[in-house]
Structure 1
Amino acid sequence: MDAPTQILQVRGLSRTFANGLVKAVDDIDLDVSRGEIVSILGPSGCGKTTTMRMIAGLETPTAGSIRLMGREITGLPPYKRNVGLVFQSFAIFPHMNVSQNVAFGLRMQRLADEVISAKVTAALDLVQLPVGKFGRRRPNELSGGQLQRVALARTLVTEPALVLFDEPMAALDRRLRDHMAVELRAIQKQLGIAAIYVTHDQESASMMSDRIVIMNAGRILQDGTPEEIYLQPTNRFVSEFLGDANVLAIEQVLEIVDAKARVRLRGGVDLWASFSSNVEPGMFVVIRPEHAVVHVADPGNAIEGTVDSAQFRNGLHRWHVTVPGGDVLMAQTTSGPCGPAIGARVWVAADPSKSRVVDP
């Protein structure tokens, strides 16, 4: 019989403190399937770490249930859950060499020495730290990226049903984080394991994840693929949290045609934008900088303004344009001439299909 594809099912999970006055996690549902990596993303204090700790068994829920491989695990201690953890600090034992660190969990299971040796060799090969070269090294002889691989091998060698990553790359520099994000995803896909990646690092989450869950104030605001979250945010918080965004307040709805609306923004500016369910005053239009195009003449569906800054960085031209009402729009492109200079009068055009109405 095939193993179930649904690895984790979280239903109505809550955690309160101070006699219920503080809701760290507030009635959330979450599913993770076999071979899927899901990132829980949000600002400090949003509830993502508390959620992870409840799944791991390190925190007791106030309400709700956690099922792993169809089995209720809500009341089980961590060592009975078959859940692996990779911590931000890596938690490598400094007095043990690499092989001993990786073997630690297996020795707690009282496996035979030859079984442990074979599993440790396979795990270190998987993370590209062959036992013959790295097995006898001490943690202080390894780089940050190598330490992370040891921590990953030590977790994977016990064959957990689910792996939880708690900010595992926070201590690494940007280039190494990007490299490790690609490497971790490749390993996870090769093994077909389910994984949850808890982080505030937007770029790593987008690179690694099949799905991203955005949390704030203990609640899940949106759950979708990285592309869906970025291109189709449902509210202002999500649109501003994941990537750069121009967010413009709607003061009046003037006209609706199919799934597009002509709205009046602050400063008396009219603009067409797409909406999913409804549009009304008090909502916002979101335009990503790469979907905002600077013109020296009015091309239609554009906002007139003045260039405040013009920058070129890493192949991108970016402008900041002040428009009526005081909003500052960001526009960027990867090609073409440098464009208008600071102080120039321009029009920032927005494709209605890529300008989205979102909730407050």
Structure 2
Amino acid sequence: MEQNPVLEIRNLSRTFAHGAVRAVDQIDLDVQPGEIVSILGPSGCGKTTTMRIIAGLDLPTAGEVRILGKNVAGKPPHQRNVGLVFQSLAIFPHMSVKQNVAFGLRMQGLARNLIEAKVAKALELVQLSPEKFAGRRPSELSGGQLQRVALARTLVTEPALVLFDEPMAALDRRLRDYMAVELRSIQKQLGLAAVYVTHDQETASMMSDRVIIMNAGKILQAGTPEEIYETPNSKFVSDFLGDTNTLRIERVLEQKDGKSLVQTNAGVTIRVANSGDIGEGAFVIFRPEQTIVYPADPGGAFEGEVVSSQFRSGLHRWQIVLRGGNKLIAQSTENRLASSAGDTVWVTIDPGKARIVRQ
């Protein structure tokens, strides 16, 4: 049985400077029960403004926001059944962990014994033992523990929708990755609908059911992290969601059976998976892990020169300059090359992985 969306956004716009600046430009978005959707984009793309409108912290110029089927126009944040977790976390430094988590419940006027039970349950959920942490002050906690307190304070009110605004930006990468896994686990356990606003591609990919790519106030592409990474619909989306090798198409040599053979500005020809009307301003794109490097010509490869060789987190990475001057990145879990800077290598692309996109 199909469920109704928890969040529905229709034709939402927000302008500033008497309409001269369109921070959000006619976007539509649904978030289903139990789904976590990340809105991803560069600074100024409109993602934070979108979140603020959903939360009731800003007013739209046009369009509609519905939560659990009800239009929330004009309703303040505390009447929207929405939980907020901010980048600053907004933990009260003069309160204990228990008092911070209980704050929203006290504002609701719940009985003391009910508050006690809910706070204990919320702390257990985020793996902060009430016996050990309830009486501590924020100054006595680590960054990851503060993150959990902020999450517990939001979850304890049992919101229909949780909004996360870059809450892990201040954490180091290792802790951020760990917290992303934990947050997704808790969110799935409770079946919450969530919107996560970030510019961090790796975190968004790790924890999201769907990723929304925004730029200049518009949604450019929406899909699973895998769909957007493997089949971006533009050069901007491809570049934003991970390292990309890009070669400009100079002419089409052949189109047959849904594939194209194109000549690029690197002076090499490449067969690509998608075809259709290519036109001017088109590019061939392929990821570093789809770029195969050989120490000797296997036949049909194009020649290049190693600029640098690196090892990072289990991956070998090579920067290579083709004879035409174009730079590529290749990576693999296997160290196939014993090459150093200045050595000649040959490059091919994993068959069927190269794609054509426009700017």
Specify if TM > 0.5. yes
Aligned residues: 359
**Counterpart in the other structure of 1:14:** 13
Question: Contact 2:294–2:336 at 8 Å: present in 1 too?
Answer: no
Query: Cα RMSD over matched residues?
Result: 1.5
- Equivalent position amino acid for 1:225 in 2: T
The 10-residue stretch of structure 1 (308-317 or 72-81) with the greater mean CA deviation from structure 2:
308-317
Aligned to 1:333: 332
Q: Name the counterpart of 1:288.
A: 287
CA distance in 2, matches of 1:301, 1:41: 38
Q: Answer whether contact 1:246 1:289 (CA < 8 A) is retained.
A: yes
- 1:154 equivalent to 2:153? Answer yes
- Shifted more, 96-105 versus 3-12: the winner is 3-12
Q: CA deviation at 1:253?
A: 0.9
How far apart in 2 are the matches of 1:131 and 1:261?
A: 62
1:310-321 alignment runs, 5 A limit: 310-321=309-320
Look up the equivalent residue of 2:17 and give its one-letter code: A
Cα 1:32/1:300, change in 2 over 3 Å = farther
**What is the letter of the counterpart of residue 121 of structure 2?**
A
**Is the Cα contact below 8 Å between 1:9 and 1:67 reproduced in 2?**
yes
CA contact (8 A) 1:294 1:347 kept: yes
The residue number in structure 2 matching 1:305 is: 304
Distance of 1:308 and 1:92 partners within structure 2: 48
Retained in 2: the 8 A contact 1:253–1:281? no
Cα deviations by residue, 1:21-78 (Å, 9 ceiling, x for unpaired) = 0011111111111111111111111111000000000010001111111111132111
The residue identity in structure 1 corresponding to 2:24 is V
Query: Structure 2: any 5+ residue segments left out of the alignment?
Result: none
Q: Aligned ranges for residues 211-360 of structure 1 at < 5 Å?
A: 211-275=210-274, 277-300=276-299, 302-360=301-359
After TM superposition, give the deviation of residue 267 of structure 1 in Å: 3.7
3-state SS, counterpart of residue 6 of structure 2? strand
Given that 1:272 and 1:301 are in contact with CA atoms closer than 8 Å, whether structure 2 keeps it comes out as no
Residue identity in the other structure for 2:82: V
Q: How does 1:88-237 map to 2 (within 5 A)?
A: 88-237=87-236
What is the percentage of aligned positions where both structures have the same residue?
65
Contact conserved, 1:34 with 1:193, CA < 8 A, in 2? yes
Instruction: Give the Cα separation in 2 of the matches to 1:102 and 1:267.
Output: 58
Name which of structure 1's ranges 94-103 and 294-303 shifts more when overlaid on structure 2.
294-303
What letter corresponds to residue 199 of structure 1 in structure 2? T
Q: Secondary structure at the match of 2:24?
A: strand
Mapped to 2, the partners of 1:57 and 1:155 lie a distance apart of 16
Q: Secondary structure at the match of 2:338?
A: coil
CA contact (8 A) 1:305 1:321 kept: yes
Whether 1:84 aligns to 2:86 is: no
1:282–1:300 Cα change, 3 Å: farther
Q: Which amino acid aligns with 1:52?
A: M
Code of the residue aligned with 1:255 in structure 2: it is E
Quick check: 1:26–1:219 contact (8 Å CA) kept in 2? yes
| DSSP-derived class of the 1:184 partner | helix
For residues 20 and 221 of structure 1, do their structure 2 counterparts lie closer, same or farther at Cα, with a shift above 3 Å needed? Answer: same
1:37 matched to 2:36: yes
Tell me the amino acid that sits aligned with residue 272 of structure 2.
Answer: A
Of residues 214-223 and 330-339 in structure 1, the stretch that sits farther from structure 2 once superposed is 330-339
Moved more, 305-314 or 158-167: 305-314
The whole-number CA distance in structure 1 between the counterparts of 2:9 and 2:60 is: 11
Structure 1 residues 345 and 281: CA distance shift in structure 2, 3 A = farther
- Distance across 2 between alignment mates of 1:178 and 1:128: 17
Deviation, structure 1 residue 268: 2.7
Question: What SS is found at the alignment partner of 2:324?
Answer: coil
Q: Distance in 2 between matches of 1:120 and 1:278?
A: 59
TM-score by length of 2: 0.96
Does the 8 Å CA contact 2:305/2:323 hold for their aligned counterparts?
no
Q: Is the 8 A contact 1:266 1:324 kept in 2?
A: no
Q: CA deviation at 1:276?
A: 6.0
The runs of 5 or more residues in structure 1 that have no matched partner are none
Contact 2:304-2:320 at 8 Å conserved across structures = yes
> What's the TM-score, normalizing by structure 1?
0.96
Tell whether the 8 Å contact from 2:245 to 2:285 is kept in structure 1 after alignment: yes
**2:158 maps to amino acid:** E
Displacement after TM superposition at 1:90 (Å): 0.7
Tell me whether 214-223 or 345-354 shows the greater mean CA deviation.
345-354
Amino acid aligned to 1:286: I
Q: What is residue 49 of structure 1 aligned with on the other side?
A: 48
Q: Shift of residue 313 of structure 1?
A: 2.7
Contact 2:294/2:337, CA 8 A, preserved across alignment: no
Paired with 2:108 and 2:3, the residues of 1 have a C-alpha distance of 25
Structure 1 CA distance, aligned partners of 2:196 and 2:164? 5
